[in-house]
Amino acid sequence: MAYTTILLEKRDHVAKLTMNRPDVLNAINDTMFAELNLALDDVTRDEDVRVVVITGAGKAFTVSTDIREMNKSGDRLMSHLSDFETWEFIRKYPQQITLKLQKMPKPTIAMVNGFAVADGFDWVLACDLRIVSETARFSNAFLQMGLVSNTGATWLYPRAMSVTKALELLYTGDWLNAEEALKFGVVTKVVPQDQLEKTTMELAAKIATKAPIANKLVKEMVYRGLDESLEQHLLSAAYAEAFTLTTKDHKEALAAFLAKRAPKFTGK
């Protein structure tokens, strides 16, 4: 499919999804909302894709909704939609991107090259891993407009950092820079700008060589475990290992170990 506001590249089991409106710091218009949803559906369905990287072109991940374009189209989010229509739009577009990233049955990596604001910060946190440049900066920003985040900040922040730090950022709208984000455990790694692409894609390639079924179950169980007791979780873990013991990938891993070679997993 041809996209106009994003780029989607697939290579060696890794999909790279790039928000591509660098002239406006990847501000999100209606087309981008729709295309991001379509692209995430695509990579979720594609059995050849084992890892998904999401990033932004130019100097930003994304600075969130393109308010100026909304104004040109009649300020529709702010005044021309009924309460129900606004709710329906939020549920159909921005929230679906959060859910598709967080629930995707494949590892996801946010590659953050600059500003990640409002929706953008939430989508970074919805990813499993976050590799960021030294220039990365994060902000809730909804507060500046007198709004509450609709893309999951109040759920995502406390899981990515301490509750007190999450509330500080949500109450104040203050910026969080790359080094602070690393200190509070919000990001996986901070690297120089010129090393961001190389570092991120090397990590994606490394993960892509692992057993896809096992990684799918690991992701599912980690997030499920946040809301389970240990006893409940151990029951799930028993089922998960019993299932993976029956896979061809497990048999391949055993054969590779005995032959002293790297395994070649097929996701079966």
CATH of 6-208, one of 3.30.300.10, 3.40.190.10, 3.40.1390.10, 3.90.226.10: 3.90.226.10
Whole-number Cα distances in Å, 206 to 155, 209, 212, 223, 235: 29, 6, 12, 22, 29
Distance CA 134, CA 16 (A): 21
Q: Quick one: CA dihedral 108, 112, 113, 115, positive or negative?
A: positive
Paired tokens of 79: 């005044």
Q: Does 79 score more than 70 pLDDT? A: no
Predicted confidence (pLDDT) at residue 50 exceeds the cutoff of 60: yes
CATH code 3.90.226.10 region(s) in the chain: 6-208
What per-residue confidence (pLDDT) applies to 86? 77
Q: So what's the pLDDT on residue 76?
A: 45
Question: What pLDDT digit, counting tens, does each position of 217-240 carry?
Answer: 999 999 999 999 999 999 999 999
- Residue 143: per-residue pLDDT: 76
The closest of 167, 166, 140, 135 to 151, measured between CA atoms, is 140
Collapsed DSSP state (helix, strand, coil) of residue 60: strand
CA distance 61 to 113: 6
The whole-number pLDDT of residue 96 equals 96
Give residue 64's pLDDT: 85
What's the pLDDT score for residue 32?
A: 95
127 vs 102: CA distance, rounded Å = 6
In the chain, the percentage of residues whose pLDDT exceeds 70 is 94
**DSSP three-state, residue 244:** helix
**Residue 160 in 3-state DSSP?**
helix
Average the pLDDT over 64-88 and give the result.
62
Averaged pLDDT, 186-194: 97
Task: Give Cα 109 to chain centroid, integer Å.
Answer: 6
Q: Binning pLDDT at 50, 70 and 90, where does residue 174 land?
A: very high
Give the pLDDT mean for 46-59.
97
pLDDT band with cut points at 50, 70 and 90 for residue 77: very low
What per-residue confidence (pLDDT) applies to 81? 62
In the block, tokens 């999909």 appear at 15
CATH fold for the domain made of 212-259: Lyase 2-enoyl-coa Hydratase; Chain  A, domain 2 (1.10.12)
Residues of the chain with CATH 1.10.12: 212-259
The answer to whether 106 and 46 are in contact (CB under 8 A) is no
The tokens of 17 are what?
Answer: 């999804």
The pTM score is 0.93
- Here the tokens at position 77 are 């989010």
pLDDT, averaged across the chain: 92
Give whole-number Cα distances, 67 to 70, 71, 77, 158, 258, in Å: 5, 6, 9, 28, 59
pLDDT tens, position by position, 108-128: 999 999 999 999 999 999 999
Residue range 85-107: mean pLDDT, rounded: 91
Of 76-80, 98-102, 111-115, 125-129, which gets the smallest average pLDDT? 76-80
pLDDT band, residue 74 (cuts 50/70/90):
very low
